[in-house]
Chain A
Amino acid sequence: MTVKPISRLGAAFAFAVLLSACDMGVVVYEPGVYKGDPDPIASQQAAAERSDALADRAGSAFADR
């Protein structure tokens, strides 16, 4: 079976396209994973830093003084 030059060109182009996908800027889609911008207050560290203050706040806000 002979391979037509045009098909070879197509295959090479397709390969080149696939190759280009290996560029650093491209990330594979992963369902269910947050795709938005970062939120500085969402981290473990930020949550840990505010937890005492929020617990105190709950005390002053909700306890029946």
Chain B
Amino acid sequence: MARMKFLCDVERCIECHACVTACKNEHEVPWGVNRRRVIVMDDGQPGEKAISVACMHCSDAPCAAVCPVDCFYQTADGIVLHDKDLCIGCGYCFYACPFGAPQYPQQTAFGVRGKMDKCTFCAGGPEEPHSEAELTKYGTNRIAEGKLPLCAEMCATKALLAGDGDVIANIYRKRVMRRGGRPQSWGWQAAYGQNV
């Protein structure tokens, strides 16, 4: 059985934020809610690296483990989803998530939380696929159409991969082999010498 995963190839990510806007575009996620973000380390310095992060669809998802109303479930191919009708917006999953993936719609008054929102791996939620209810609460359902998350499908450099872990690992592995097994970006040679 396939197991859906994201993988962000750091050597290719150029901080262009296409993944972020593709997600906004596909699901009409409101201003202030970011199902996906680009995180930059060492911004503006040698060794600068960026990585695109969203819900990682953990196999043993901590969000689900702590949810007081048990609104999380996982599809047979490993996509972690939740039922917004059940969610109470408490933010406990936000504590548990190692990636800061859960989002809460911003309110005018600081701190007021609505229902939790997060990356669905473009798989909608517990509603009839392609129904108005699904579109409104969760966004579109590409998975049901045989398509992968739009963030990855539109990635500028194909840094962000999404799909069955085995399939994308094969694609990634080929790249790594071509690279000769070492990162090539600036700073590497400075750090480890010309011949490493």
Does B81 lie within 8 Å of A42, measured CB to CB? Answer: yes
Alpha-carbon gap, A64 to B172, bound state (A): 10
Does B76 lie within 8 Å of A54, measured CB to CB? Answer: no
Does B75 lie within 8 Å of A39, measured CB to CB? Answer: yes
| A62/B161 contact (C-beta < 8 A), A42-B75, A50-B143, A57-B147 known | yes
Given contacts A41-B141, A58-B163, 10 further A-B pairs with CB under 8 A are: A37-B83, A42-B81, A47-B1, A47-B75, A47-B77, A54-B4, A55-B2, A58-B168, A61-B153, A64-B175
Does A44 lie within 8 Å of B163, measured CB to CB? Answer: no
Alpha-carbon gap, A53 to B144, bound state (A): 10
Does A37 lie within 8 Å of B126, measured CB to CB? Answer: yes
Q: Does A5 reach chain B (CB closer than 8 Å)?
A: no
Task: With CB as the reference atom, state the residue of chain B lying closest to A64.
Answer: B158
The total of chain A residues at the interface (CB under 8 A) is: 30
| B 61-78 binary contact with A (CB < 8 Å = 1; else 0) | 000110001111111110
Q: Does A36 reach chain B (CB closer than 8 Å)?
A: yes
Residue numbers in B under 8 Å from A58 (CB-CB): 148, 161-164, 167-168, 171
Residue numbers in A under 8 Å from B44 (CB-CB): none
Alpha-carbon gap, A61 to B128, bound state (A): 27
Q: Does B114 reach chain A (CB closer than 8 Å)?
A: no
Residue numbers in A under 8 Å from B89 (CB-CB): none
Residue numbers in B under 8 Å from A42 (CB-CB): 73-76, 79, 81, 126
Contact of B127 among A34, A37, A46 (CB under 8 A): A37
Q: How far apart are B112's CB and chain A's nearest CB, in angstroms?
A: 23
Q: Does B152 reach chain A (CB closer than 8 Å)?
A: yes
Q: Does B85 reach chain A (CB closer than 8 Å)?
A: yes
| A55/B161 contact (C-beta < 8 A), A34-B73, A41-B144, A61-B148 known | no
Q: Does A2 reach chain B (CB closer than 8 Å)?
A: no
Q: How far apart are B113's CB and chain A's nearest CB, in angstroms?
A: 19
Does A41 lie within 8 Å of B124, measured CB to CB? Answer: yes
Contact of B70 among A35, A40, A44, A59 (CB under 8 A): A35
Residue numbers in A under 8 Å from B29 (CB-CB): none
Residue numbers in B under 8 Å from A53 (CB-CB): 146
Does B125 lie within 8 Å of A39, measured CB to CB? Answer: yes
